[in-house]
Structure 1
C-alpha cells in the first residue's frame, strides 16, 4: 500500500554547491522538502520509490549513482546502498538529474532504508502511467508499506527570463497544479494534464505526478487521506511545488 508521498521540485539548484552564491534563495524550498520527506519517513515505509522524468525510462536499483559534475561541481550522489544484484554495475548506471536531486534529498534526510528509482519518459501515455503505478504497487514489490518521493517542476515560462520565456498560460496552469497537489488531485487535473501542453510550457513533473495520482487513487479510493501544499513559488520563472500526501 502507498502510505505517504512527498512531492518536490527537481532543479539541481536545490543542491547548495550547484547554486553557489545564490543558495540561500531556495532555503525555503529545501526546508519544505525536508518537511515533506520527513512525513513520508514518519509513515514507516518498507520501501521508498524516487520517481522523476528522464531520457532512459526504467528502474534504477539501490546503489545507482548520479552526479552534479555536468553542472560544474564535484558532487556525486548514490541512491541508497547497493544491493547484491547491483553491486557490480551500479557505478555505470547514471541517474537523470531529477532522480539525482531526489537521492541528494534522501541523503540529507538520513534515509537508510530500501530505495529504488523509477525513471519516466516525459511524454508518457495514460497506459504508461497506470502500468507504472501497478509496477510500483504492493503486488509488484512485495512490500506492504510503500512511500513515494515524486520529483518534478511546473511550467518554465512564468517570466521573460524563464528558460521557456514568458507564456501567458503558465501562471494559470501552475495554479491548477498547486491546487491539485493541495487536494490529492481529487478533481483529476494532474491525471488529465495534456502532454502537448506540458511540453509547450516545459513542465517536467507531468508524468511523475500522473503516476502518483494513479497509484494514490488505486490505494485510497474511499479516503484520499491528508494533503498539504508546503511550498509554492516561481523563482527564476519556474514553478516549484512541495506537497505532502499521507
Structure 2
C-alpha cells in the first residue's frame, strides 16, 4: 500500500480564527474534521499540494505567514501544533528561499494546510509541493504519480492533503464577480471528487479554471494522477469518498472531501 488516503480542503484565510474570529464556521469545522481523519489513519508521511506562483518543493523547515491578513502569525510546515508563534517572519516571495540557512516561505494555500495540520496535532513527517496555474493536466498527473512512486520506493504509507479553492466567481458579490459558468464548473469538480472520477478531474480545462479563478484545478489533477498510479483500474471499487462540504458562502466555491481505501 502506497497511497493511503487523501483530503481535499479549501484555503481561505478565514479558516484561521485569528483572521475571521472564533465563531463557528462550517467550512472550518469540516476541514479540520477531514484533516483529523487523515491523520488518524496514521500515514508515514503527509504531503501537502497547493497553488503556488511557481513549481516548488518545500521541506519541514518551511513556514507560512498570515501577516498580510492582519495577524502576525507564522505556521511551520512541521510540528505546527507545538511550534506556532506570533513572531513576524521575514518577507519573501512564495517558493523562494529567504536567506542562507533560513526557512522557505509557503504560499497561502500551503500556509493554510500547515495551520490545519498544526490544529489537529500532526507531528509526523511532512513536505509540500507548490503547483502553479500554468501546470498542464498531464504534468500535474505526472507529479502525483511521482509522489506515489517515491512512497513505493521507500515502502512508506502516503497521505495527501490537497489544498484548493473552486471558482471565486459564483455570485455577483464574489471576489471575481459573477460568471455564469462557475456553478457548472464547481458542480463537475464536486461530482468527480465524490465519484473518484480520475478522468473527469484530468479533463478540467486549465484556461476555464483560470477564467473562473479556481486555483484548485492543478492540485486536484495531482491527486487524480496519484490515485491513477496507486489504483490503475476502477478506483471506485477499492476506495470510498466522503464529501463533507460543498458550498460557496462568500461567492467562492469551497469543497472538503475525504478519500480513503475501502475496508478500513
Same fold (TM over 0.5): yes
- Tell me the TM-score normalised to structure 1 length: 0.91
Inter-partner Cα distance in structure 2 for 1:244 and 1:55: 26
Inter-partner Cα distance in structure 1 for 2:186 and 2:206: 15
The answer for the alignment partner of 2:154 in structure 1 is: 142
Q: How does 1:87-98 map to 2 (within 5 A)?
A: 91-98=102-109
Inter-partner Cα distance in structure 2 for 1:112 and 1:28: 25
> Any gaps of 5 or more consecutive residues in structure 2?
81-96
**Contact (CA 8 Å) 1:65, 1:91: kept in 2 or not?**
no
The answer for the alignment partner of 1:34 in structure 2 is: 32
> Any gaps of 5 or more consecutive residues in structure 1?
none
- Pair 1:169 & 2:184 matched: no
**Contact (CA 8 Å) 2:145, 2:228: kept in 1 or not?**
no
- Tell me the TM-score normalised to structure 2 length: 0.85
Once the two structures are TM-superposed, the CA of residue 199 in structure 1 deviates from its matched residue by 0.6
Deviations 1:164-205 (A, max 9, x none): 10011111111111111111125x221111110001000010
* Structure 1 vs Structure 2 CA RMSD: 2.0
Q: How does 1:179-190 map to 2 (within 5 A)?
A: 179-186=191-198, 188-190=199-201
Picking from 42, 53, 66, the partner of 1:44 is 42
Q: How does 1:1-20 map to 2 (within 5 A)?
A: 1-20=2-21
Q: How many residues align?
A: 238
**Could you say if the C-alpha distance between residues 90 and 110 of structure 1 is closer, same or farther in structure 2, counting changes exceeding 3 Å?**
farther
- Pair 1:151 & 2:163 matched: yes
SS at match of 2:250: helix
Once the two structures are TM-superposed, the CA of residue 234 in structure 1 deviates from its matched residue by 0.2
Q: How does 1:49-198 map to 2 (within 5 A)?
A: 49-81=47-79, 91-139=102-150, 142-186=154-198, 188-198=199-209
SS at match of 1:174: helix
Inter-partner Cα distance in structure 2 for 1:189 and 1:138: 23
